[in-house]
Amino acid sequence: MNDSAMVADRLKQLVDANGLRYLEDHAYELYESMKEEKLLDDVYARALLICLLSADYKNFERGEFEKTALSSSIQKNCALREDVSDQMADVFMRLFDERNVTEWEEKRHSGLRKFCEAEWTFPWEGFCVWDGGVVHVDCSASASAVVRIVNSSKVELDLEAFLEWNPFLTAEKIFEMYTDWLSGTIDADFADYCTCDEYYPPVTEYYCEVYEELVKKFCQEHGMELIDYEFTGESSDYF
């Protein structure tokens, strides 16, 4: 099966979710999936792979797309037969039509803007075992921090490289990234807090103040402000 419209729709779904660079960076994966989904036969799947790797289609700016010229360029630069290059050109003409390009322009950095306009609650859970040699103590904690953005420029700087790769990052994905960054910082510190004294187990409840300071520091570094937080800590009996 070689349906240009279906192939273009499949590529658009990937661009919508991951940005245009995804097509080049994951060209071989697309080649395999197109064959597996039977959207293209082996010959045309290989042709699509060559086109994605060469990125020849990118030479045609919006408003300057013309199928014959695109097909001719693909045929020359990718060493394809005319009938194959014609179908590849049809795929990219459909993918980069006026409607899709307009949609991508409007969508560009919209996730960043949405993220910066909202308040977010960052969850965290920690667990560590204090080892006293003969006895052990389980240390567990959970917390949540309500945060808002006060300096969107810092957030944009944080995400500059990610947005260059995918300008369509959603606000939810950005929140997930910051959650991972903050959790990683607290995880490492909580482990140190729980294991720093080999003679006395930690009082996990007291980590509350440390947690607050870590979140405040994180917020200052990333253009955010801590609005409120909750913390619960518990240490088990010796075992």
Give pLDDT, residue 74. 84
Q: Per-residue pLDDT tens for 6-19?
A: 999 999 999 999 98
**Rounded-to-integer distance, Cα 211 and Cα 189, Å:** 9
Q: Where are the domains of the chain?
A: 4-106, 112-235
What pLDDT score was predicted for residue 20? 86
Instruction: Report the predicted TM-score, pTM, of the whole model to 2 decimal places.
Output: 0.83
For 141, the token pair is 């904690």
Residue that is written with structure tokens 């307009």 in the block = 102
| Rg (alpha carbons) of the chain, rounded to whole number | 26
Is the confidence at residue 1, as pLDDT, over 70? no
CATH, domain range 112-235: 3.30.479
Better pLDDT: 158 or 2: 158
pLDDT score, position 135: 82
Q: No. of H helices and E strands in the chain?
A: 12, 3
